[in-house]
C-alpha cells in the first residue's frame, strides 16, 4: 500500500484529476502512436475504474463515442456509455452490439488483468485468456483498418499471441510505458490496420 501511495504516477493522477495511474500509460501510448482521434468510436474493455475511458473521451471529443464495459461498477463519465457485465456473456455482448448499432468501432482498448495470485503458473494463463477474449471482441466490432491495444504479460503464450495479432493486423508494436512499474512483466501491444 505504501508503495502505491508513494508512487509518482498515483500522486500525478490525484493532482491532474485522473481516475488512476493507468491514464498515463494510455497517454504515453497515444503520444507515440496517435491512435485516438477526434470523432472516433472506441470500445474500452475492463474499463473500471475508468481511467482509460476518461482519457479516450477527452481525445475523441464531443463527436466521438466511448463504449466501456467491465464486470465491476464504474462511476459515470461524461461522453462514456458504460455497460456493466461480462462481455463474453451473450446478453452483455448483445447490449454492446445494440449500442454500436450498424456502426463498427475504430479502436478497441483493453487494460484487463486477472486478479493476480502471485503464482505465475496461474496468473499467466488467466492473463492470456483475457487477451484472447479481448482480441475476439475486437475482431467482432472493429472496422477494417481499425486498431487494438491490449495489456499482456510476457511469458508463456506471448509469442503465439503476437503471431495471431500479426496475422490479423498490418502493424504490431510493443510498448512499455514509463508508468508501468519496472519490475512488472506487463507490456502493451498496439495493433493497427485490421485486415479486411
Out of 104, 151, 171, 176, which one is annotated catalytic?
151
159 assigned binding-site residue: no
6 assigned binding-site residue: no
37 is catalytic: no
Residue 106 vs residues 27, 43, 54, 141, 142: alpha-carbon distances, Å: 18, 8, 17, 9, 6
Report the C-alpha gap between 86 and 81 in whole angstroms: 15
52 assigned binding-site residue: yes
Report the C-alpha gap between 143 and 166 in whole angstroms: 17
50 assigned binding-site residue: yes
86 assigned binding-site residue: yes
Kindly report whether the peptide bond that precedes residue 99 is cis, defined as omega within 30 degrees of 0.
Answer: no
Report the C-alpha gap between 114 and 106 in whole angstroms: 26
Query: Do residues 166 and 194 lie in contact, with contact meaning Cβ atoms separated by under 8 Å?
Result: no
- Residue numbering of the annotated binding site for S-adenosyl-L-methionine: 50, 52, 70, 86, 111
Question: Which residues are catalytically annotated?
Answer: 151
Amino acid at each position: 500500500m505504501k508503495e502505491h501511495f508513494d508512487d509518482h504516477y498515483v500522486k500525478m493522477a490525484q493532482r491532474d484529476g485522473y481516475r488512476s495511474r493507468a491514464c498515463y500509460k494510455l497517454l504515453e501510448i497515444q503520444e507515440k502512436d496517435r491512435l485516438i482521434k477526434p470523432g472516433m468510436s472506441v470500445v474500452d474493455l475492463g474499463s473500471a475504474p475508468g481511467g482509460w475511458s476518461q482519457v479516450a473521451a477527452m481525445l475523441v471529443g464531443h463527436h466521438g463515442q466511448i463504449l466501456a464495459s467491465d464486470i465491476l461498477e464504474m462511476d459515470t463519465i461524461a461522453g462514456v456509455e458504460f455497460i456493466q457485465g461480462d462481455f463474453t456473456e451473450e446478453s452483455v455482448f448483445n447490449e454492446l452490439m445494440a449500442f454500436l448499432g450498424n456502426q463498427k468501432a475504430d479502436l478497441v482498448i483493453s487494460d484487463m488483468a486477472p486478479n493476480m495470485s502471485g503464482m505465475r503458473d496461474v496468473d499467466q494463463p488467466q492473463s492470456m485468456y483475457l487477451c484472447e477474449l479481448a482480441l475476439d471482441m475486437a475482431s467482432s466490432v472493429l472496422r477494417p483498418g481499425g486498431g487494438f491495444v491490449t495489456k499482456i504479460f510476457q511469458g508463456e503464450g506471448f509469442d503465439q499471441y503476437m503471431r495471431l495479432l500479426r496475422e490479423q493486423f498490418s502493424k504490431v508494436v510493443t510498448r512499455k510505458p514509463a508508468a508501468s512499474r519496472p519490475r512488472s512483466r506487463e507490456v502493451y501491444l498496439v495493433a493497427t490496420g485490421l485486415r479486411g
